[in-house]
Chain A
């Protein structure tokens, strides 16, 4: 009824061009939230990064330029990727996984060592972090394998994805990058959980996770150190966490105002892992809550919409992408609020970091692509049923 009266066909309901179809089928609310997060990230890097750049004896605007250089490409990637069809997404992801596995090998062999870990490779002057690219591609490939297998062969599908995961985790641990290994394992676990493996397996896997955690605590000193610091404030260096908490407290409800923050000048990772604290100090709890709400919006709305998704591939891959996105956000903000032990994890779209930003853009673009409205993609029940009836009644 809207479109019929519109003279301009552009973006009308009747617009059947590629862009028009995309606009009316994509989840516009989630898209808006993601773009807003990217923009907020740009603003926050502007606020947080100059002191860090100065400390590293770079141009004060170094990180700002590089971030701004990424903002437009990131938005473009999100939109462009979201236009793809689920099949193309699957194919791209499979190829992407293969490429990123090669790059991961390369990283382990000839990567650039930064702070004692080989996580980056240099490609034509650009430092790339292949592990970022592994996350979305692995999630989608695993989903395809799980969804593609017939019921009686589901056990084999589980094993294949587990083998794939083991390969990736093995490569990540060689870097070493425990945080990333945890993320991919967690995503895989949730995918398997949603895919419906038996509860015994769920519990068994959780026990495995507990065992691995215990072993790391006992045998990896830096893991033990992090946990001990988290539990007992008197032990070790909690400098960054304490400063982050102080920043949030000082910020109050509306913050000190843009550029007025102090904590960024003393936090080494003000522009990446602790950018949330900078946001809290300069723009207040309000900004912090808005950021949390934006992440929550995308994750909760995405999962809610998936509840009526019938396509197993779409369901599992979208869950994987959302869990990665939401999990990283929760982990990062949790560290900033001292709810979790310190773990180097970026805040999706907001922290500074090119590879993370682009990979996240690809991942969330694919998520949008997968969750577009398709004929017969939904079980007709709940609110979606009403919506469909409404649409039909028109």
Chain B
């Protein structure tokens, strides 16, 4: 039996070695270890099969990376009030090269330019022959381009996923939604104002819903663009607002830009005229003068002012554009837009009350709209008597169009202050067209009495039926409104040739629901307008077209005006008529 080895001589060989203390329990404990190992290996095998064969292939192991589910992209979407996508984030591949691995830079550059024609061969070759190990070639490729580059089969090229902000509505919402820089940090508009909320980890995937209605926005954008083209204006601004809630359904500033290519936009087109621009709005302000005067009771609709002769204020003459050269009643002053009448009315009202009233309407503070681009209004300091007169017809005070819209809406909605907002459902009356029946239930502070508000509706309607705003009429929608034409200030006084022409319209004027404001910057008269470029000739028809198109969208039922307006027929109390009566 030599085949069996002898154990080490140094150790005890005998089976019943009494020296060893490791007898009885040793075996059972060894089996414990053995059992634990068997258990471990069994668990490993089971887990291996579970992980690889039984696991659903689509189930992600973690919740963050590797998918495009909402929240995965690091920035929430922005939607309009009906859920239409205004801004989203997409994963896009970006092409890079590792020049060290590249075999033939010339060939690679040549091939790449065939697939990506916007890349220059010279720039490419510079990048590809460098000694670095990483060079971006093109950021944000489309899936098709990625496929084409892959098909080239060039070694040393690779893709890294990047997240890119996409604005499907392009220039339609450029000033409202704004844009993000290359690092996806909001730089303007809602993107900037709500940057923290859009990127907050605890609310990722929760889109921000704007009050905007992209259909209305589209109509306003089209009509303003058309007006800019027709009247060769340098720019335009427009607002559509729910007069009850202050929610902005559309806000346009022209010229605009494509936020997807924000770097190509110039400062002029990035400028938001609707909220950041401030303008002397002209006659539109007469609505505030008249409303304040009526509300304080210093005049009534029968009151008259002498507008026979121009008025001398300091170095200037106040003249009427549509001069009647006679005494005018309050409705006449309003519908013929008499500067002389408005100035005298403002004098009667007094500077303090005038200023307090404008402040109550919010016209003396920056807009509260949810955009970083808001401007402070400018008003006369000190507020002297001549200031009172000029402000009475909208000169010497410059405010942003969005504030004008909110202030007019406050006058006609029953007389309570509303604040303009771009966020859906922020104000109490959330749904568009949600009629708030009781005046006392209005959320904002009262600015004028319900009676004054009713008179203002009638006066605004009168402007369209009998005054300067006749071209704003939209059949069935009973438009009321006020024209505004102001000369732009130049280096030496006001410029006769450069106007800010506007029209602010509300409809239906019996019980206004929506407001449409159109402002044209330096429109030129055309043959069709007989060379006139004022608000009644340029902005009013634009508002008319906007209202005819958005009325049906916003569920405003067309009405037979004679029936609806029978209760608000207003006597113009014209001297002419009185003379005729004699």
**A interface list, Cβ under 8 A from B:** 13-14, 16, 21, 24-25, 85-87, 90, 147, 149-151, 154, 190, 193-196, 233-234, 238, 242, 245-246, 248-249, 251-253, 280, 284-285, 288-289, 292-293, 295-296, 299-300, 303-304, 306-307, 310-316, 319, 323, 326, 330, 333-334, 337-339, 372-377, 379
Q: Is B5 a contact of A372 with CB atoms below 8 Å?
A: yes
Q: Is B19 a contact of A280 with CB atoms below 8 Å?
A: no
Kindly state the separation between the CA atoms of A90 and B8 in the bound complex, as whole angstroms.
10
Minimum CB distance partner of A198 in chain B: B25
Q: Is A190 a contact of B33 with CB atoms below 8 Å?
A: yes
CB distance from A234 to the nearest CB of B (A): 7
Q: Is A303 a contact of B4 with CB atoms below 8 Å?
A: no
Kindly state the separation between the CA atoms of A321 and B436 in the bound complex, as whole angstroms.
85
Kindly state the separation between the CA atoms of A326 and B19 in the bound complex, as whole angstroms.
30
CB distance from B9 to the nearest CB of A (A): 7
> Which residues from chain A contact B10 at a C-beta distance below 8 Å?
87, 90
Which listed residue, A195, A300, A334, touches B26 by the CB 8 Å rule? A195
B49 part of interface (Cβ distance < 8 Å): yes
Minimum CB distance partner of A281 in chain B: B52
Q: Is A25 a contact of B26 with CB atoms below 8 Å?
A: no
Kindly state the separation between the CA atoms of A365 and B301 in the bound complex, as whole angstroms.
113
CB distance from B152 to the nearest CB of A (A): 20
CB distance from B12 to the nearest CB of A (A): 7
**B15-54 with Cβ < 8 A to chain A:** 15, 17, 19-27, 29-34, 37-38, 40-41, 43-45, 47-49, 51-53
Cross-chain pairs A/B with CB under 8 angstroms, 5 sampled? A25-B5, A249-B57, A293-B45, A311-B7, A313-B11
Q: Is B29 a contact of A194 with CB atoms below 8 Å?
A: yes
| A300-B34, A307-B31 given; A339·B47 CB < 8 A | yes
B267 part of interface (Cβ distance < 8 Å): no
**B538-570 with Cβ < 8 A to chain A:** none
Segment of B58-66, B209-217, B422-430 in the binding face: B58-66
Kindly state the separation between the CA atoms of A24 and B47 in the bound complex, as whole angstroms.
38
Q: Is B61 a contact of A245 with CB atoms below 8 Å?
A: yes
CB distance from A236 to the nearest CB of B (A): 11
13 A-B pairs besides A21-B3, A319-B33, A372-B5 with CB distance below 8 A are A21-B5, A87-B10, A234-B63, A238-B62, A249-B51, A280-B52, A284-B52, A285-B48, A296-B37, A307-B34, A326-B37, A374-B4, A377-B13
> Which residues from chain B contact A193 at a C-beta distance below 8 Å?
29, 32-33
> Which residues from chain A contact B53 at a C-beta distance below 8 Å?
252-253, 285
Q: Is B48 a contact of A25 with CB atoms below 8 Å?
A: no
Q: Is A295 a contact of B11 with CB atoms below 8 Å?
A: no
Number of interface residues of B (CB under 8 A): 50
Which listed residue, A87, A233, A330, touches B8 by the CB 8 Å rule? A87
Choose among B52, B55, B57 the residue with the greatest number of A CB atoms under 10 Å from its CB: B52
| A252-B53, A373-B4, A373-B5 given; A295·B41 CB < 8 A | yes
> Which residues from chain A contact B7 at a C-beta distance below 8 Å?
85-86, 311, 374-377
> Which residues from chain B contact A147 at a C-beta distance below 8 Å?
11, 20, 22
Kindly state the separation between the CA atoms of A293 and B48 in the bound complex, as whole angstroms.
12
Minimum CB distance partner of A234 in chain B: B63
B437 part of interface (Cβ distance < 8 Å): no
Q: Is A248 a contact of B52 with CB atoms below 8 Å?
A: yes
Q: Is A315 a contact of B22 with CB atoms below 8 Å?
A: yes
Q: Is A280 a contact of B48 with CB atoms below 8 Å?
A: yes
**B interface list, Cβ under 8 A from A:** 1-15, 17, 19-27, 29-34, 37-38, 40-41, 43-45, 47-49, 51-53, 55, 57, 61-64
> Which residues from chain B contact A233 at a C-beta distance below 8 Å?
61-63
Minimum CB distance partner of B49 in chain A: A285
Kindly state the separation between the CA atoms of A221 and B45 in the bound complex, as whole angstroms.
32
Q: Is B48 a contact of A311 with CB atoms below 8 Å?
A: no
CB distance from A178 to the nearest CB of B (A): 21
Kindly state the separation between the CA atoms of A150 and B63 in the bound complex, as whole angstroms.
59
| A242-B61, A304-B34, A307-B31 given; A14·B9 CB < 8 A | no
| A249-B55, A374-B4 given; A86·B11 CB < 8 A | yes
> Which residues from chain A contact B14 at a C-beta distance below 8 Å?
376
Q: Is B22 a contact of A316 with CB atoms below 8 Å?
A: yes
> Which residues from chain A contact B17 at a C-beta distance below 8 Å?
310
> Which residues from chain A contact B55 at a C-beta distance below 8 Å?
249
Q: Is B30 a contact of A86 with CB atoms below 8 Å?
A: no
> Which residues from chain A contact B11 at a C-beta distance below 8 Å?
86-87, 147, 311, 313-314
Q: Is A337 a contact of B47 with CB atoms below 8 Å?
A: yes
CB distance from A271 to the nearest CB of B (A): 20
CB distance from B408 to the nearest CB of A (A): 51
Q: Is A310 a contact of B52 with CB atoms below 8 Å?
A: no
| A86-B8, A233-B62, A248-B51 given; A303·B3 CB < 8 A | no
| A195-B22, A307-B30 given; A285·B6 CB < 8 A | no
CB distance from A119 to the nearest CB of B (A): 27
Kindly state the separation between the CA atoms of A80 and B17 in the bound complex, as whole angstroms.
30
Q: Is B44 a contact of A333 with CB atoms below 8 Å?
A: yes
Q: Is B30 a contact of A292 with CB atoms below 8 Å?
A: no
Q: Is B6 a contact of A375 with CB atoms below 8 Å?
A: yes
> Which residues from chain B contact A196 at a C-beta distance below 8 Å?
21-26, 29
Kindly state the separation between the CA atoms of A242 and B63 in the bound complex, as whole angstroms.
11
Q: Is B34 a contact of A289 with CB atoms below 8 Å?
A: no
Kindly state the separation between the CA atoms of A181 and B7 in the bound complex, as whole angstroms.
33
> Which residues from chain B contact A289 at a C-beta distance below 8 Å?
45, 48-49
Kindly state the separation between the CA atoms of A44 and B21 in the bound complex, as whole angstroms.
45
Q: Is B41 a contact of A251 with CB atoms below 8 Å?
A: no
The 4 residue pairs across chains A and B that have the minimum distance between CB atoms: A87-B8, A151-B21, A296-B41, A374-B7
> Which residues from chain B contact A310 at a C-beta distance below 8 Å?
15, 17, 20
Kindly state the separation between the CA atoms of A375 and B403 in the bound complex, as whole angstroms.
105
CB distance from A139 to the nearest CB of B (A): 14
Q: Is B3 a contact of A14 with CB atoms below 8 Å?
A: yes
Minimum CB distance partner of B41 in chain A: A296
CB distance from B564 to the nearest CB of A (A): 60
> Which residues from chain B contact A86 at a C-beta distance below 8 Å?
7-8, 11
Q: Is A337 a contact of B5 with CB atoms below 8 Å?
A: no
Q: Is B19 a contact of A151 with CB atoms below 8 Å?
A: yes
Kindly state the separation between the CA atoms of A265 and B6 in the bound complex, as whole angstroms.
53
Q: Is A25 a contact of B4 with CB atoms below 8 Å?
A: yes
Q: Is B52 a contact of A306 with CB atoms below 8 Å?
A: no
CB distance from A305 to the nearest CB of B (A): 10
Which listed residue, B5, B23, B32, B44, touches A375 by the CB 8 Å rule? B5
Choose among A289, A307, A312 the residue with the greatest number of B CB atoms under 10 Å from its CB: A312
Minimum CB distance partner of B48 in chain A: A288
CB distance from B194 to the nearest CB of A (A): 25
Minimum CB distance partner of B63 in chain A: A234
Q: Is A16 a contact of B37 with CB atoms below 8 Å?
A: no
Kindly state the separation between the CA atoms of A14 and B1 in the bound complex, as whole angstroms.
9
Minimum CB distance partner of B2 in chain A: A16
| A16-B2, A25-B5, A251-B52 given; A150·B44 CB < 8 A | no
Which listed residue, A149, A252, A292, A311, touches B12 by the CB 8 Å rule? A311
> Which residues from chain A contact B19 at a C-beta distance below 8 Å?
150-151
CB distance from B93 to the nearest CB of A (A): 16
Minimum CB distance partner of B8 in chain A: A87
| A373-B5, A374-B5, A376-B15 given; A337·B48 CB < 8 A | yes
Kindly state the separation between the CA atoms of A295 and B368 in the bound complex, as whole angstroms.
71
> Which residues from chain B contact A323 at a C-beta distance below 8 Å?
33
Choose among A154, A303, A334 the residue with the greatest number of B CB atoms under 10 Å from its CB: A303
> Which residues from chain B contact A190 at a C-beta distance below 8 Å?
33
Which listed residue, B38, B44, B52, touches A339 by the CB 8 Å rule? B44
CB distance from A281 to the nearest CB of B (A): 9
> Which residues from chain B contact A288 at a C-beta distance below 8 Å?
48, 52
Choose among B9, B15, B17 the residue with the greatest number of A CB atoms under 10 Å from its CB: B15
| A190-B33, A375-B4 given; A234·B51 CB < 8 A | no
Q: Is B26 a contact of A24 with CB atoms below 8 Å?
A: no
Choose among A14, A24, A249 the residue with the greatest number of B CB atoms under 10 Å from its CB: A249
Kindly state the separation between the CA atoms of A87 and B49 in the bound complex, as whole angstroms.
43
Kindly state the separation between the CA atoms of A139 and B51 in the bound complex, as whole angstroms.
35
Kindly state the separation between the CA atoms of A319 and B31 in the bound complex, as whole angstroms.
11
